[in-house]
A and B are shown apart, each in its own frame.
Chain A
Amino acid sequence: MLLNPADLQAIWLTIRLAALVTIILLVIGTPIAWWLARSRSRWKGPIGAVVALPLVLPPSVLGFYLLLAMGPHGPVGHLTTILGIGALPFTFWGLVLASVFYSLPFMVQPLQNAFEVVGDRPLEVAATLRASPLNTFFTVVLPMALPGYLTASILTFAHTVGEFGVVLMIGGNIPGVTRVASVQIYDHVEAMEYGQAHRLAAVMLVFSFLVLLALYAWRPNARKG
């Protein structure tokens, strides 16, 4: 057996986390990216900068603030307590919420770029062909921005798989709940289990390479917007 059950559990958890985060970000990233691509508001700059923050911020900083926010005395924690959900830190859903923030730019920026490439004209054409704005989005913008959606989804998924600092701050290290693959490797190394760390690390390496290969091999054939 290449990987022991704990490793497999960690990988399965990682995949579930990354898939969930990608789906959530597809839903909330689309309107944010759309607004950033289309708006002429003076808030466009500040909002764009906030969305990009996780790109430059150390994950521990982001994790620290999220921990405070989600803690029993933070605004998010307050809300979740009232709603009867309880505190989010050290739960799977806390990890999901933190990852959504952490991976936000990887979804929003490719989408924003794709929407900008689509431009105004197809929207105007659709309007003269009786399509309402919402209908235009689903029948014209979405198909034309499909390459952007694929890029954004792959990047978001891969980036969530690769997170470590935020997980440690928010999720800790609970097997089956918050112990993702990157944390599992860290544990193996801490416990001097270099053989097992090697195998899991190799799986991650191959995975990352395949993801990027898919992305780069496929991009040049992408239809131009």
Chain B
Amino acid sequence: MDRITARFHVTWPGFTLDLDLDLPGRGLTAIFGHSGSGKTTLLRCIAGLERAEQGYLSFNGEVWQDQKTFLPTYKRPLGYVFQEASLFPHLTVLRNLRYGLTRSKAEQNISLDHAIELLGIGALLERKPERLSGGERQRVGIARALAVSPRILLMDEPLAALDLARKQEVLPYLERLRDELEIPILYVTHSPDEVGRLANHLVALAGGSVVAQGLLAETLSRIDLPIRLGEERGVVLEGIVSERDEEWHLERVEFPGGFLWMRDRSTPLGHTVRVRIPSGGISLSRLPQQDSSILNTLAGVVEAIGEDDHPAHSLVRVRVGESVLLARITKRSAAALELRRGLPVWAQVKSVAVAQ
């Protein structure tokens, strides 16, 4: 499998970036961190827009940077999407799209028509950028990056400059890119929602270093690392909508190891959805609960018990079939239940706590 090896050392006044990364050459890798964590700098170093004094970068065995080499950006087979679409103001949408296309010597694995279709911008081609909405501009920016037939797509917070409605407009297109393109995507973001919804892999950065990297589900469920998406720690499950309960407005999401009833979001049956389950939305018991308001009860096995932020709480990792849940319970409850590794438990998942 193709891989991206990146080692960068950057020192600026008040900021040090020191990274050693081995990134998968497939799927969407979210580079997640707060502002100042170095995530954008990392992406710019990979693109060659920033030059790390000490660095090594190889893409599928080709060296883009080492002590002797520094391939300039325009010779790297990449596509880059900036936070603001940064379309050329003096060119129409179509001529923006063709700008890179005509200069790219790469074999066309993504045709211009395909890029236009993927991003749904066919109706905008003759317009000038000033006559586009923010969401449209960003879609054109993404299509323009794809039109050069890149072998890797780098995206720097492509949704951060958009309001909520525009984000919702662009997100489905990003899901399509992830699912339909054969090339790896590196996606810089500080948004837990975007990670939960888009990422296959996660690289978490803080203060210029890597806190964790790996498959999203595995990385989120590690109890030895303080990785959290948003307010609370939790896991993301991917499942297929298999059934709809019209009477109670619920839909059933089948995931490897079980299923969950969630509020009906009118997802077509058979579609894949992602479900984020915060650790506080799960309770554990030794016996299945009968007369409870909780809809979802999953049989699992305790895999690990670790510390949470507050001394009153424990984090318990529970394996449910092929999936893993993370439950936050009080230490008193953990003691009362005599939780230990290997113990079969029932996990109650509050379905209102479940969100995409």
Contacts and interface: CB of A to CB of B under 8 A. Distances in A.
Interface in B128-163: 144-145, 148
Contacts of B47: 128
A140 B88 contact: yes
Given A121-B82, A135-B103, A144-B89, A129 B148 contact: yes
A47 interface: no
Contact of A124 (B49, B90, B100, B105): B49
A131 B99 contact: yes
Given A127-B72, A128-B47, A132-B74, A223 B103 contact: no
A25 B111 CA distance: 43
A58 B126 CA distance: 53
Given A130-B103, A130-B148, A125 B88 contact: yes
Interface in B281-330: none
B103 A129 contact: yes
A130 B86 contact: no
Contacts of B90: 143-144, 223
B88 A122 contact: yes
Nearest to B79: A128
A125 to B, nearest CB: 5
A57 B99 CA distance: 46
B42 interface: no
Between B78, B86, B148, the greatest number of chain A beta carbons within 10 A of the residue's beta carbon is seen for B86
A212 to B, nearest CB: 26
B58 interface: no
Nearest to A224: B89
Contact of A125 (B48, B78, B82): B82
Contacts of B145: 128-129
Interface string B72-92: 111100111010101011100
A131 B75 CA distance: 9
Contacts of B75: 130
Contacts of B103: 129-131, 135
A127 B82 contact: no
A129 B82 contact: no
10 contacts: A124-B82, A127-B72, A127-B74, A129-B99, A130-B74, A144-B89, A144-B90, A223-B89, A224-B89, A225-B89
A128 B84 CA distance: 15
A126 B47 CA distance: 12
A119 B48 CA distance: 18
Contacts of B148: 129-130
Nearest to A136: B74
A84 to B, nearest CB: 43
Q: Tell me which of A127, A223, A225 has the highest count of chain B C-beta atoms within 10 A of its own C-beta.
A: A127
Chain A residues touching B, range? 20 to 34
Contacts of A124: 49, 73, 80, 82, 86
B99 A128 contact: no
Given A125-B88, A127-B48, A144-B89, 12 more contacts: A126-B74, A127-B72, A127-B73, A127-B74, A128-B78, A128-B100, A130-B75, A130-B103, A130-B105, A144-B88, A223-B89, A225-B89
Q: Which 7 A-B pairs have the closest CB atoms?
A: A129-B100, A128-B80, A130-B103, A127-B73, A143-B90, A127-B74, A125-B86
B200 interface: no
B236 to A, nearest CB: 30
B103 to A, nearest CB: 4
A172 B59 CA distance: 67
Nearest to B144: A129
B104 interface: yes
B297 to A, nearest CB: 50
B82 A130 contact: no
A133 B49 CA distance: 13
Contacts of A122: 86, 88
Interface in A70-127: 121-122, 124-127
Interface in A197-225: 223-225
Interface string A140-156: 10011000000000000
A128 B73 contact: yes
Nearest to A129: B100
A133 B72 CA distance: 10
Contacts of B80: 124-125, 128
Contacts of A132: 74
Contacts of A225: 89
Nearest to A120: B49
Contact of A131 (B74, B84, B89): B74
A53 to B, nearest CB: 34
Interface string B95-135: 00001100111000000000000000000000000000000
Contacts of A224: 89
A125 B74 CA distance: 10
Nearest to B102: A130
A180 to B, nearest CB: 37
A223 to B, nearest CB: 7
A131 B105 CA distance: 11
